[in-house]
């Protein structure tokens, strides 16, 4: 009989109580969709399920992801958490592995292997960006976030995506970001009108130090806010480059999230460059604990 034991990890922690909890099932073969959704519902967090890869996929693992309300095509923090657990269990011993997901193949890497600084990093494709110019939508964003226009950075609001569309809204200060008390009753309707899966307001922490702060308010996940969102951080990296806030190079930018929730988290994000120095995608990664 297959063991469908659930292991809970915290992904991207950056302090006491930090990280995004991720329930992971390392042996999900035979689990129904309903059973996977039940795991996510019982824990109240986005959950990851590891399965054998499809024939011919070229992947080492296949992963599925559920939030309490539905299945997701891709989840960055659950992928990082699952790969970390696979390594702890001795089931991933190489320096890299391909993971089959509903949004395509993702490559996973272990960095600084065998040292106290070991962490897991995964790839995301090159981001796409679209400016939101509809005045009614921009007004609705400010109303839902309950911010004045003077609190917003003089930058375009962007819909950005690597795996899922996130709406990037720049705020003038980290204090304004942490003080946000959105009208959660309107988040889903607003996101649907924007064709977005979540609002991702951000603020510059230290431009010289490549540090930024963000919060994630998902469209319809069954919870109001995420402590750390790898897919959103990947989208933000491309938005930051478009705004001229980070150069397109191989250096790491740190996206801090969850601080307003009392769950401080840090996501490492950096561009993946091809041989000619052009953007081929990005890497997101960070620490994992139990």
pLDDT-based confidence at 1, cuts 50/70/90? very low
Contact 242, 158 (CB under 8 A): yes
CATH of the domain at 41: 3.10.310.10
**Segment 78-100, tens digit of pLDDT:** 999 999 999 999 999 999 999 99
Helices (H), the chain: 33-43, 76-88, 135-145, 174-178, 187-194, 230-242
How far apart (Å, rounded) are the C-alpha atoms in residues 82 and 75? Answer: 11
Let me know if residue 287 belongs to a domain.
no
Residue 151 is a catalytic residue: no
When divided into structural domains, the chain yields a total of 2
Q: Is residue 49 part of a domain?
A: yes
- Same domain? For 97 and 235 the reply is no
* Annotated catalytic residue, options 38, 46, 151, 225: 46
Both 207 and 168 in a single domain?
yes
Q: Is residue 285 part of a domain?
A: no
What is d(CA 248, CA 87) in angstroms, rounded to the nearest whole number? 31
This prediction has a pTM of 0.96
Range of the domain at 24: 7-125
Same structural domain, 105 and 205: no
Q: Of 241, 252, 257, nearest to 284 (Cα)?
A: 252
The yes-or-no verdict on residue 39 having pLDDT over 50 is: yes
The pLDDT assigned to 81 comes to: 98
Count the residues in the chain: 290
Question: At 166, is the pLDDT very low, low, confident or very high (cuts 50, 70, 90)?
Answer: very high
Give the pLDDT confidence score for residue 208 in this predicted structure. 76
3 state SS of 241: helix
pLDDT of 11 higher than 70: yes
Cα angle: 154, vertex 158, 164; to 5 degrees: 155
pLDDT of residue 207: 67
Q: Is there a single domain that holds both residue 147 and residue 261?
A: yes
Q: Which pLDDT score is estimated for 215?
A: 98
What would the pLDDT profile of 190-228 be if each residue is shown by its tens digit? 999 999 999 999 999 986 779 999 999 999 999 999 999
Q: 93 and 146, same structural domain?
A: no
Asked if the structure places residue 283 within a domain, the reply is no
Last residue of a domain, one of 125, 145, 179: 125
- Which residue, of 91, 125, 159, is where some domain finishes? 125
Q: Are residues 159 and 182 in the same domain?
A: yes
Q: Are residues 110 and 196 in the same domain?
A: no
Q: Compute φ and ψ for 142, nearest 5 degrees.
A: -60, -40
Q: Flag whether 286 is in a domain.
A: no
125, 141, 167: which is the final residue of a domain? Answer: 125
Same domain, 139 and 264: yes
Helical (H) or strand (E) element with 129: strand 128-131
Average pLDDT of every residue of the chain: 96
């Amino acid at each position: 009989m297959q063991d469908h034991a659930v292991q809970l990890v915290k992904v991207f922690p950056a302090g006491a109580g930090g990280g995004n909890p991720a329930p992971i099932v390392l042996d999900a073969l035979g689990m129904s969709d309903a059973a996977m959704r039940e795991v996510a519902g019982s824990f109240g967090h986005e959950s990851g399920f590891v399965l054998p890869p499809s024939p011919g996929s070229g992947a080492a693992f296949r992963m599925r992801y559920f939030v309490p309300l539905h299945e997701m095509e891709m989840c960055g923090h659950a992928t990082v958490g699952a790969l970390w657990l696979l390594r702890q269990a001795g089931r991933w011993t190489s320096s890299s592995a391909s993971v089959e997901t509903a949004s395509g193949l993702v490559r996973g890497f272990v960095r600084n292997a065998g040292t106290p600084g070991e962490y897991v990093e995964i790839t995301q494709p090159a981001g796409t960006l679209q400016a939101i110019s509809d005045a009614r939508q921009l007004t609705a964003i400010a109303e839902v976030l309950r911010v004045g226009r003077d609190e917003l950075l003089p930058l375009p609001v962007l819909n950005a995506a690597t795996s899922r569309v996130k709406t990037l809204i720049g705020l003038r200060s980290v204090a304004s970001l942490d003080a946000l008390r959105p009208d959660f009753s309107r988040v889903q309707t607003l996101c649907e009108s924007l064709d977005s899966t979540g609002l991702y307001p951000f603020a510059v922490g230290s431009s010289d130090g490549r540090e930024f702060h963000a919060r994630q308010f998902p469209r319809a996940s069954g919870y109001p806010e995420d402590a750390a969102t790898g897919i959103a951080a990947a989208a933000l990296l491309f938005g930051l480059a478009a705004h001229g806030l980070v150069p397109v190079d191989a250096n790491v930018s740190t996206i801090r999230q969850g601080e307003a929730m009392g769950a401080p988290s840090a996501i490492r994000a950096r561009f993946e460059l091809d041989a000619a120095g052009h953007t081929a995608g990005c890497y997101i990664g960070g620490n994992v604990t139990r």
